[in-house]
Amino acid sequence: MSFQKAVIDLYSNARPQHQELDIHFANYLEGLKTEGQLVESYKQQSHDLQTMFGEFLRKETLPQHNALKAALLELENKIRWYDFSDLDKRFPDYSNHITFAQILGPVGGFGDAMHEHPSINAGIFIQAPGYYYAPHFHDSVELYHVLHGTAYWKRGDEDWMPRKPGEFILHDREQVHAMRTGDDPIIALWAWYGGPNAPVLFTETDFHGNPQ
């Protein structure tokens, strides 16, 4: 099964249990009707955190992740992991603690995609244990689905909420959000849609008004 088909099946099967996210599930699945085409110039790139991803792929997990894990095992040695060491000078250690792979998405945008897709970005996100991903936003709707690791997520004025494997987290366009890990890394399926293929933008202050 391809990565794209596995993602379609995961969202289709989960949709009835998540009525509060139905419009986003519907929009995302509509975009996925267009098949992503393999990009000939795509090149693999490694990252220190990818060992956590490999360990996850070989462990028992939730049954709804089985097809996705099988598809990712076929891609494991082809994935391009990004470090974004120049993302923002205020966070010079970002590249050591966070990486992501873009498996579907526009070519030449925010990370070169393995499979070109005109309207959907999708891939895998990893955040190392004991790290704080500072408040940030972007001009696209973002939907995370946690595959491994319980961590805390925060959106705007909401309280920090623990999120565990199997949960979905929505970040609306330009909604400020942040994540912090404890003893476990975060490994998640991520998706963007409905906005330009724009980069992450950090806020000027944190949630307490302190300069970032």
Q: Say what the pLDDT of residue 122 is.
A: 94
Q: Say what the pLDDT of residue 211 is.
A: 92
- Token code pair at residue 76: 């494991």
Q: 21-76 pLDDT, tens per residue?
A: 999 999 999 999 999 999 988 999 999 999 999 999 999 889 999 999 999 999 99
Please give the model's pTM, rounded to 2 decimal places.
0.95
Domain ranges for the chain, please list them: 3-202
Confidence band for 110, pLDDT divided at 50, 70 and 90: low
pLDDT over 70 (residue 151): yes
Q: Say what the pLDDT of residue 71 is.
A: 97
Number of neighbours of residue 74 by Cβ within 10 angstroms: 11
Domain 3-202: give its CATH superfamily: Jelly Rolls (2.60.120.10)
